[in-house]
Chains A and B, each alone.
Chain A
């Protein structure tokens, strides 16, 4: 697609329920990133995919958080047994190393999924 697409744009759930957030990156972008944006906390890195593998999961805050990517394209971030502190905007970004060099390529972000846990 023309940009990074995320769904749902807004999600309200009850504490203890599971949620799935979806990211559809730019076609051909091999790298995909999930970030969390909480009020006053800036952007917190969660996980990075290169193709379908996740060489860096260092930002996942607990084992309730998991993510997968299939076909080198769409990614799903799953939060199990949601807690109120999970309320945030979850941002997805993708990048393509061709034409640049690692570390300097631009991340293109989606508009985010706003999660509210009641």
Chain B
């Protein structure tokens, strides 16, 4: 069964610092991978997705993620954090080639300090 593991339930960075949110997946076949962001009291919003094209995927708000098959990782990065990036971030894997059903990690809450 496919699953994802997000290391670190909380990450704190200073404004302007690098953001690195970790995600590792387990899958017997090349997966589709997603990062979603959830701002307070809002639904989830897609940041980016990997669907076996380019391994470096660029998303919204300056975020990007790199698919590394050898490490089974799909870490999310942003070179310079902004206060508005404070939110909860979820990594997800698509479990099926018949549906768009996603299996989510437990999430990482990002805090950004001035």
The answer to whether A104 touches B43 (Cβ under 8 A) is no
Given A41-B106, A42-B106, A104-B51, the answer on whether A112 and B99 have CB atoms closer than 8 Å is no
- Per the bound structure, the CA–CA distance linking A64 and B42 in Å amounts to 27
B34, B49, B101, B107 — most chain A CB neighbours (10 Å): B101
Number of interface residues of B (CB under 8 A): 28
By CB atoms of chain B within 10 A, which of A31, A35, A104, A105 has the most? A104
Residues facing B in A11-48 (CB within 8 A) are 31, 33, 35, 40-43, 45, 48
Interface residues on chain A, number (Cβ under 8 Å): 27
In the complex, chain B residues 66-111 whose Cβ is within 8 Å of any chain A Cβ:
90, 92, 94-107
A-B contact pairs, 11 of them (CB 8 A): A41-B106, A42-B107, A43-B102, A43-B104, A55-B99, A104-B32, A104-B49, A105-B100, A107-B102, A109-B43, A109-B44
Q: Which residues of A contact B (CB under 8 A)?
A: 4, 31, 33, 35, 40-43, 45, 48, 50, 55-56, 91, 93, 95, 97, 102-107, 109-112
